[in-house]
Every structure is written in structure tokens, then in C-alpha cells.
Amino acid sequence: MQSPLWLDVHAPTLEELPQPELRRYLSKVESGPINLVLHGPAGAGKTAAARALASAVHDDPENAFVELNVADFFDRTKQELRKDPRFAPFLTGEIGWVKQVAKDRRGDLSKRYKSQWSKAEMINHVLKESASTAPPAGGFRTILLDNAEAAREDFQQALRRTMERYHGATQFVITTRQPSKLIAPITSRCFPVPVRAPTTDETVTVLRTVLEREDVPFDDAGLAFVAHHADGDLRAALLDAQTVAETTGELTRDAAFEVLREVGPDEQVVSLVRAATEGEFVEARKALDGLLVDEGFTGAEVLQSVVRVARSRELVDPAALAVLAGEVDADLTAGTSDRLHLSRLLAELGTW
């Protein structure tokens, strides 16, 4: 999609969240700072709920709200982290007012630079600096840690200490598909908030609101078709609706059926598999990022497409792929990083 995503353009307020129980709960914690764990299935609206809460509690959410995707840390290299404009101010230059100084054997002072930090030190520094810096408008800051199931235990231990130190100045909102992946010292410092998948009727209501705002013609059958097709994944429903609308100019049942039955990243998957099997791992990772980030597919959807396309086009040994896909599917189900486990799939394809 070349135009802005409806997911971003029509981000909901607290009052517009489709689950009434979620609206009621979050409306009670607006005074903050209160640490929360929002847990539920993919596409249920956890991230959207955290953003809506930040918009409700802060007069200047643009400067008081910090969003950090845990996968941004653990799925990227140190060089990629330093080049990210969100993290670059924290990760360049000398350590500064907290610089570590030690005398070497000659008695000279040797300064340590941020470029020498380990990845764990970089992550911890970004987290602490984000939590310790007061918003320009005053009050407390909200930090969203998205997809926290990908966090290693050492990061969680550092997070626990940061939460303790800045409990009066910073509110942490943690989203995860699998709260069991969080260590007890984290969960004990947070209020758990279950976020269930929206029902078909709730999804239809959201789609109708967005389509009316976009002035896109639709019928009830088209809304129902997209909602059923998404199967409780509100993010997927909005992406599907936008795809149909941009392709046909409307969202009727016939238009949705014609577009969605053909939607599939087949050619991108072919490029991904061929790059992986030819040992072009960097190119394969770029293709994977295109599917996960640019196109918005889930890890499970990418894996299913890889298996289907690779078999139908005889790109790899189907029996070996079935075994490998089963292992990767189990890892994806466990709730850790989709990008990490699919990267393992690509790496193993490169050895065939």
C-alpha cells in the first residue's frame, strides 16, 4: 500500500476501542502513573489501546509517550540501533556526565565511548534515559514496551530495576501475546489487563466507522465478509478493507471476495525462498521484513505461504520443509519474535 495505513490514520480513542470491558478498565487508570500488562492474541488491539490511553492521560502525548518495540532491540544489530533516529541521540558520543573513567597501567585516564557498548548496555541505556527524562509539559511519561514476549531475561531484570527507580515519574505499559514469558518481578509490579479478540460484530462496527470517514462505498455483506475473513484479528481486517477499497474503490461482498481470495504474497515468497536457498541471507531478510513490516502479514501467515508456495513450485524438498516448518510453527506459537524464528527458517534453507 502506497497511501497511509488506516491503522494509523484512524487510530482509536479510548471511547472507540471495540471491547467495552477494555474501555471501562482503561478509563479507570487515566490518573496514572500505573504500570500495566496488556495481554491477548495478535491483532486484538493491545498496541492501539496503549496509544489511546497515552492520548487520554497526556496533554502533550507526542512528547510524553515513548513507544519501543522489543523486537526492535533484539532482532537488530548494534549498527542498526545506532542509525535508528529514535535511539541515535542516546547512543552516540562519549558517555558524558556518567562516563566511566578508569586509570590504565600508565596512570592516564581512559574514557569509554558509547560505540564500545555491548548491545545489552545500549538497550539498558535507552530504557533508563527514556524513563528518567521528564516530558516538556511536566507530569509523568508513558513508555510502551510492545511485543514483550521477545524480551530476554537479562533485559527484563534491567527493566524491573528501572521500573523501581522511576515508579513515580514513568508509567510502563507492556503488551504481550504470552504473559507467562514475563518474569515474576515484572508482573508483580503491573496490573494485568486482558485484551480479547474483538467479535465479528465489533469488527464490523470498526470497519463501518473507518469506511464512512474515508467516504468509501460499502454494503453490510462486504463488511461481514472482511470481518469473518480476519477471524478476530482487527489489524488484519483493517488492512484487508483498505486493500479492497484501494483496488476496487468500494467494499461490497463481491469486491471483497474477488480481491481477498487472490491476496497472497506469492511472488515475494518466491523471492524470499530463492534468496535463502541461494545463500543470499541479507536479501532474504529484506524480503522477510517486507512481508512482516511493509505488508503487515503475521509470522504464521508468512510461514503458511512459504510452505504452500515452496511445495506448489517445487522450490525445496517438501518432506524436509514440512519438518522444519513444524518446528518453526511451534516456536511462533510459543509467542516469541516472529522475525527471529522465520530468520532461522531462512538460515536453515540456506544450508540445503
* Tens digit of each residue's pLDDT (9 = 90 or more) over 307-347: 877 876 778 887 888 889 888 988 887 766 888 889 989 98
- Answer whether CATH 1.10.150.120 is correct for domain 266-349: no
Specify the pLDDT at position 52: 96
Where in the chain is CATH 3.40.50.300? Answer: 19-91+121-194
Q: How much is the pTM?
A: 0.70
Structure-block grid coordinates of residue 142: 508513558
Query: Predicted confidence band at 211 (pLDDT cuts at 50, 70, 90)?
Result: very high
Please state, in angstroms and as integers, the Cα–Cα distance from residue 297 to each residue in 97, 230, 290, 319, following that order: 43, 12, 9, 25
Superfamily of domain 19-91+121-194: P-loop containing nucleotide triphosphate hydrolases (3.40.50.300)
Place of cell 496533554: 59
Burial of 298 (0-12, 13-18, 19+ CB in 10 A): middle
Neighbours of 293 (CB within 10 A): 10
Highest mean pLDDT among 90-104, 118-132, 319-333: 319-333
Where in the chain is CATH 1.20.272.10? Answer: 266-349
Where in the chain is CATH 1.10.8.60? Answer: 200-260
Q: Which of 64-78, 90-104, 188-202 has the lowest mean pLDDT?
A: 90-104
Q: How far, in Å, CA of 290 to CA of 284, rounded?
A: 10
Specify the pLDDT at position 15: 94
CATH of domain 200-260: 1.10.8.60
Please state, in angstroms and as integers, the Cα–Cα distance from residue 230 to each residue in 251, 260, 265, 334, following that order: 15, 10, 16, 21
Phi first, then psi, for residue 69 (nearest 5°) are: -90, 120
CA dihedral 200, 206, 207, 211 (to 10 degrees): 160
